Chain A
Amino acid sequence: MIFSFLADPEFLEGIIRILFVFVLITAAFTLSTRNIASLLTVYAVQSLLLVLIASFLYMIEGNQTLLAIAALTLVSKVLLIPLFINLIGEKIKISRDLKFNYLEPTASLLVSIGLILLAYVFLSGFFSEYILGKLFFIGAVIGLSLTLMGMLVIFSRKKVITKVIGYLTMENGVLLFGIFVADLPFIIEILIVIDLMILVLLTTILAIGLDSTREEYHQRLQTLKIWSGRED
């Protein structure tokens, strides 16, 4: 059999580890890319990596839920959500998100290295009393790091569309964490995706008013101050 190596768990584990590295690379791109279209592509690729990780894990473990999660992620996060955001992005005619709040890309990348280490230290403190396989532990660390890096994106980017992608990255991190730490009932996963879709729908619709560079919205455009409790 030509695909016989796919039945070898050690080989599959190796592949999954490589995919982890790719996931982190996509997160780094999300932090630094200015072009909205490439941001969306990066998100789709990142989701696709999760699909692959879940599928390979299924080959090792044989847990049906993982396969269902992979299918669900493929349809919702690789296809539907990027397609929809792209549609809105064309409508509001912004192609670049140039400005950063508080952190420039280089600083964000340095901070995210710190966050990954933090996730590692934190989780090794708590999972020491549980026998979580080595691969699963690394998966949990990468998941938590991805969530934190997504938060960093929301924190440091200005346009609502970019913040939406930050939120989606966070959610991908939680999904990754969930895949490796616990097998939640599939119905919960479906509900989360529905929730995610409604959130993306609403925020991107609201983004039309805020992000647009078209003339009629121009006067209403000011910086979006998300983290300050400002008075007016």
Chain B
Amino acid sequence: MIILSYLAVGAIVLALITLSKSHKTMNAFFILHTLTFLAIGIYALFTTTVPFETGSEYFYVDHLSLYEVLIAALLFFLASVYANGYVESLMQAQELHRNNLKIFYMDFSLLLTIVTLAFFSDNLALFWIFAELTTIFSAALVAILSARENIDAAIKYIFIASGAMLFSFIGLIFLYTLSGEVLGSGTLNWTLLLENAALLSPKMLTASFVFLFIGFAAKSGIFPFHTWLPDAHSKAPSAVSAILSGVLLNIGMYGILRMYAIVRQTQAEDMISQFLLGFGLLTVAIAVLNMLLQKNLKMLIAFSSVEHMGILLLGIGIGTPLALFWALFYILAHSLTKASLFFSAGILHRQYESNMIQDIRDVFSLQPIAGWGFVIGSFAIIGMPPFPIFSAKFFILLEAFGFSKSLVFAVLLLLVIASAAFARFLIEAFTRSSKETGTESLETPLLPYTVRSGMKFPILSILLMILALGVFFPEPLENLLNVIVYELGYL
């Protein structure tokens, strides 16, 4: 029922967007789409007994999938509100061609539907296909500005992510054969695999996991498959960047999480756990080194996404129930915070028509909301208290202590570098005023860019949400995360 209603709403909205003529109506339908998806998710969470069978062996709804779908719908909602003013500005600046407007909204709305279906897939092959489709449709959104560098970034994104996903498919074939040996006939249903996980041969499962990891890691920007990410995330329109970082990276992580839940039941756990910790640490290291002397604002945020995916991987790799609990919370905290950073960066980009550090000046007098949004967002993203990423990082690292002290020290050191990178950028770019540098007389003074309707709301509401999440930990959320930990077989 739920899957059908999602599909129906998705199809109807897609048709409505296709038929509508003006930007306002397209945007309104898209906002409606995101709100309906949010509503269905919340309705399902509170009125039905989750997890439940959907009547089809291909789909399955449990708390983890609902949690991810709700995060995705929330971010799409914020992005859709933001897009209203942002896309209008893009068209005015002639960066987005008017002919592409309808494609943009159709693609965006289709992406939301596919992401939702991906999270609800029980059959791993089906999940693989939906994940593949999200790559293609999001790459189209990166390329929509049809500038050379955008097409470049989109092509790179497609070939690295999709190419790596083909290796994942080999992993699925392994898994299918493996389950066939144990269950008589092969299956790729996650629920069945989890039930029978203890019977699976650890050696083959390890091989299967490693192949699957290649694709999922590429989708979530884990080293050494992260090279597409900074380009795609920084070149995409900011409304899209927020979705790329806040939602699409979660898809790869979701795949790794589900697979790890199966591996955890077998003797392969030790090896896989170290494997994940190793890649997590490397990813964080590569990301922070790229952040340190970064001159491009959106590149900085994009590399910070790579860093956070690394930490999430560590959280999954530690493998204790508590670490998983905080990793799940981390997903929510990171998605929200990262979206606010990209939304602020979008306004700053409209103002200066550049992302480069040397072009940014007089931030607080020209764009107070975006400026403060970025400053507070930076504090939140580097994990300062009282923001939610602080507690998530803190408890993950606390759990990591039981695993290895040197790992914790290494991560802490890298996190300091990440904070330094943000601090350096903020101090250099955000304190520059045109009076001091004396450029005022040489150039025409910058006129403030009028922030259009709807662009401030997402930033402000996210800042409120993360502050609230950091200070109070709502009980329903705690219960939800506990149930997920239980359902994944950790308790």
A residues with a Cβ closer than 8 A to B are: 126, 129-130, 144, 147, 151, 154, 160, 163, 167, 170-171, 173-174, 177-178, 181-185, 188, 191-192, 195, 198-199, 202-203, 206-207, 209-210, 220, 222, 224-232
Contact = CB atoms under 8 A, between A and B. Distances in A.
B226 A229 contact: yes
Given A171-B166, A178-B173, A202 B129 contact: no
B290 interface: yes
B143 A174 contact: no
Interface stretch (B146-154, B373-381, B476-484): B146-154
Contact of B204 (A126, A192, A206): A126
Nearest to A224: B152
A19 B186 CA distance: 28
Interface in B102-161: 123, 125-126, 129, 132-133, 136, 139-140, 143, 146, 148-149, 151-152, 154-156, 158-160
Contacts of B152: 210, 224-225
B203 interface: yes
A182 B136 contact: no
A222 B160 CA distance: 20
A147 B146 contact: no
Interface string B341-362: 0000000000000000000000
B123 to A, nearest CB: 8
Contact of B169 (A160, A174, A183, A209): A174
B299 interface: yes
Given A151-B163, A171-B166, A126 B203 contact: yes
Contacts, number: 116
Interface string B174-206: 101100110000100000000000000101100
Interface on chain A toward B: helix, strand, loop, or mixed SS? Answer: helix
A212 to B, nearest CB: 12
A210 B151 contact: yes
B230 A177 contact: no
A195 B133 contact: yes
Interface in B191-236: 201, 203-204, 207, 226-227, 230-231
A203 B177 CA distance: 33
A220 B163 contact: no
A184 B173 contact: yes
B80 interface: no
Given A129-B203, A231-B295, 15 more contacts: A163-B155, A167-B162, A167-B166, A181-B177, A182-B180, A188-B123, A188-B126, A191-B125, A195-B132, A198-B136, A206-B154, A207-B155, A210-B151, A226-B155, A231-B299
A182 B176 contact: yes
A126 B176 CA distance: 14
Contacts of A185: 125
Nearest to A163: B159
6 contacts: A178-B169, A181-B177, A195-B129, A202-B139, A226-B156, A231-B296
A226 B160 CA distance: 8
